[in-house]
A and B are shown apart, each in its own frame.
Chain A
Amino acid sequence: MSASLDFVGVTHGYGGQAVLDGLSLHVPEGRVTCLLGPSGCGKTTLLRIAAGLERPWSGRVLLGGREVDGAATHVPPERRNVGFLFQDFALFPHLDVLDNVAFGIRSGTRADRRVRARELLGRLGIGEKAAVHPHLLSGGQQQRVALARALAPDPAVLLLDEPFSGLDTVLRRGVYEELRALLGQTGVTAVVVTHDPVEAMILGHRVVLMNQGRIEQQGTPEDLYQRPSSPFVMRFLGEANSLPAHRDGSEAVTPLGRYAAPAGDGPLQALVRPERVAVSPSGGRAARVVSSVFLGRAVRLHLDLDGTRLTAEVPADRPYAEGESVSVRVEAADMRLFPAGSERD
């Protein structure tokens, strides 16, 4: 019973301080949308509004086209049919796993509800834990029980608040892909809040990057990573070198050469990702290796380009010596040019 979720001009905050500033967003049905952003950007507030745990100051929220928040409407959380996966999983300590999962199922007899709960636990691969109390489970198992509990009432939208923050780092890697597969399997509309771009890119069909209560950019993970609309987006999704640039007619002059400049006439800044800096013996701009760090799959080089510092990540096919002279080059498609001062932090 998947449904779409819409926010229209939502403004909300705490103690007179606005956290969300007239935000509008469409969350498509049956897909995973990640709300990504630094802490305090309003992403968790947006999630809590969707669940009905907060009532927005103004704006509307629509669930499957039905208004659940508006000027005169506020549907309480218990009547919204949304599932919520909490950071701390919020499993009921006095109930065993099966009763936790059956807690939200309202239809059918007690036996029916237990059958449905047991079936969900089996599908999530923790059927044998049905009679166990939550405190005896590992973090990963707790997460799966919490997910089963949130899915059990067949919610229109599943909301996940930092689903991995309750797990230790070693455990996380394996769980990312597992959760991605589970969400894909159920076909539920899901909204995942995270501050980690890697998590967002693994889980999200769509990524919505937020900053200071507004949406900076939304699209597929590739869109955001390859075609960032602002220096903020580019820096948030991954490391970037910042280079001086100035206009010369329709071109931008950078220490790495001339590139087509964006329209306008203001000052510019140039950004390039370290793995997009090509290093070769000759054929580009001359640079000197200041230091090199071996990372296994790659080598990280700190380069000096006539006084400009540049970081490059290159395949680890040969060692680099300090002071060695190399040649660097960046393709036009990889050099991102933005009007200077377009950054909001």
Chain B
Amino acid sequence: MTAAPRRIGSAATLAVAAFVALPILSVTWTALSAGLGPQWAHLWATVLPDYISGTLLLSLWVALGVAVIGVATAWLVTMCRFPGSGVLRWALVLPLALPAYVVAFLYTDMLEYAGPVQGALRDVFEWRTRRDYWFLEIRSLGGAAFVMTLAFYPYVFLLARSAFLEQSHDAWEVSRTLCDTPLSAFRRVALPLAWPSVMVGIALAVMEAVSDYGVVSFFAVPTLTNGLFNVWLVMGDRAFGAQIALLLLVFVVALVTVERRARARRTYFALSTRSRSAAPVVLRGWRAWAALAACALPVLLGFVLPVWQLAGLAAGYDAEPGAGFAATVARSLPLAAAAAALTVAVGLGLAYAARLGLSPLARAAARVASFGYAVPGAVLAIGVLIPFGAFDRAVGALLLSGTVFALLSTYLVRFLTLSHGTLEAGLQRIRPSLDMAARTLGRGAVATLGRVHVPLLRGALLTAGLLVFVDVLKELPATLVLRPFDFETLATSVYTLASDERYGEAAAPALILTVAGLIPAVILSGLLGRRAGAAEAA
């Protein structure tokens, strides 16, 4: 529009992009400048192959698991009607509320030797010791894949369901007349059309799996993230830690590439015309029960059972929660609120700067600013530690590292995409003529933002703030690395207590995280529900 706000917007965008790029660049620099020392060969011969194969195998199993569960359940609740399909349509999103590390410790508690399941089996079959029988070991790579599949399949479910909703009635009916069975119509038309969306969902789930620290650490699964913690924190080898972090980054860049390509194809496949969605098939008899079982099982295993267990633990824990717990809550909530406010403010600034018009360089930088969400929390944390630590050493005082400032910076970089994306979508729904009207009526760019955009964006600002707030509450790996001494958040206290097998004590903070986690689950399924309603009304 006019020169001055545009220059300021471009400069601010460049600054934010530089801030996001700083941790990534410092990891890369540290990793490459260290070179391959003698210990590299040693570690390569011992642990590194395990880390890499662990990450690859975990990714593979999670990808398969979330694809099968997510696509099958999305198809059934969207295209078929059976008893309970209306409830399952939103209930299938619920597992999103539980952090994977909470599910992991609850299943450990349930399935371990002293837990209720093995105890009941021993009573029934009169086994005496561990050697009398074989029982599946949840603390394994398979167990981690199981837990993560339950925690992350809703990504695929949500994206696949919205893709199925967008498919036109006509395409489906044509395919039914040309294919011999509904199953072959699904395989040859509906699934290929939805595939780009499914790929986006799988990529997001695998990104989560690769970045996870809580689950793999409980289950002692060797992955790159687990290895990064061992090497960096336990062995104290910064250079090799940075090199593992770089490997993780390479892995993530591959995933982001898959995701962005799939997103581009998704727009290409998206329907330009509004059309009625397909009439649902009413299932009867054994088919209806099979569909109900298939869709209810992920909800039971991923939400009902863990929450039941969690509620039982919390109720059974009779000791006083203690001052520690109160202090944790009193620290965690304001920290998450501050991070949410900061992230929403910067996200709004970025989105508005893009609306005012950016210089070509700043336009490229804006793409960098949205990369943070893909970077694993642990990698980001050491990427922040390296430059902050260097600064503190230069100054001779602990100003940046090990402070709340370091935590807030990391949350900002990690969750900026979430707020920026939400607000950008919100701004796009505001007609540009409103901006120009305000400008010709004597309001500058900043006053226009305050008097026109912010009031109109109230819903989007609230959504963005809540999404970031809950994600910060649940964030574990970066918080573990960067938190100030003796500083517990809800997430770290769940992790520390559960690591010490103090499950009863861990239940209260885990319950708070779960209740908070319901907020984004409700927001996401509500957004989709509104679109489904619109498609059915059309």
Q: Write out, one digit per residue, whether chain B residues 103-134 have a CB within 8 A of any chain A CB (1) or not (0).
A: 00000000000000000000000000000000
A106 within 8 A of B: yes
Q: Would B441 and A153 count as touching, CB distance under 8 A?
A: yes
A51 within 8 A of B: yes
Q: Would B442 and A76 count as touching, CB distance under 8 A?
A: no
Top 6 closest pairs, chain A to chain B, by CB = A104-B441, A90-B433, A90-B437, A76-B2, A77-B439, A84-B440
A21 within 8 A of B: no
In this complex, what residue of B is CB-closest to A146?
B437
Total inter-chain residue pairs, C-beta < 8 Å? 75
A296 within 8 A of B: no
Q: Is the interface of B mostly helix, strand, loop or mixed?
A: helix
**What CA separation (Å) do A73 and B476 show in the bound complex?**
54
B452 within 8 A of A: yes
**What CA separation (Å) do A86 and B432 show in the bound complex?**
11
Given contacts A52-B2, A94-B455, A94-B456, contact A80 B440 (CB under 8 A): yes
Q: Write out, one digit per residue, whether chain B residues 434-465 have a CB within 8 A of any chain A CB (1) or not (0).
A: 10111111111001000110011000000000
The distance from the CB of A34 to the nearest CB of chain B, in whole angstroms, is 20
B431 within 8 A of A: yes
In this complex, what residue of A is CB-closest to B455?
A94
Interface range on chain A (Cβ under 8 Å from partner): 20 to 34
A-B contact list, 15 entries, CB within 8 Å: A52-B439, A53-B1, A74-B2, A80-B440, A81-B442, A84-B436, A84-B440, A88-B431, A88-B433, A90-B431, A90-B436, A90-B437, A92-B434, A92-B452, A149-B437
In this complex, what residue of B is CB-closest to A80?
B440
In this complex, what residue of A is CB-closest to B5?
A76
Which residues from A are CB-within-8-Å of B442? 78-79, 81, 104, 106, 153
The distance from the CB of B47 to the nearest CB of chain A, in whole angstroms, is 55
Which residues from B are CB-within-8-Å of A52? 2, 439-440
Q: Write out, one digit per residue, whether chain A residues 93-129 have a CB within 8 A of any chain B CB (1) or not (0).
A: 1100000000110100000000000000000000000
Which residues from B are CB-within-8-Å of A80? 440
Which residues from B are CB-within-8-Å of A94? 452, 455-456
Partner of A55, one of B2, B441, B456: B2
Interface range on chain B (Cβ under 8 Å from partner): 20 to 34
* Chain B contacts to A: CB under 8 angstroms: 1-4, 431, 433-434, 436-444, 447, 451-452, 455-456
A83 within 8 A of B: yes
Given contacts A51-B440, A55-B3, contact A86 B433 (CB under 8 A): yes
**What CA separation (Å) do A80 and B440 show in the bound complex?**
8
**What CA separation (Å) do A93 and B455 show in the bound complex?**
10
Which residues from A are CB-within-8-Å of B443? 78, 103-104
**What CA separation (Å) do A153 and B443 show in the bound complex?**
12
Q: Would A93 and B456 count as touching, CB distance under 8 A?
A: yes
**What CA separation (Å) do A150 and B442 show in the bound complex?**
11
Q: Would A76 and B444 count as touching, CB distance under 8 A?
A: yes
**What CA separation (Å) do A227 and B153 show in the bound complex?**
74
Residues from 141 to 181 in A contacting B, C-beta threshold 8 Å: 149-150, 153, 159
Which of A51, A90, A149 gathers most chain B CB within 10 Å? A90
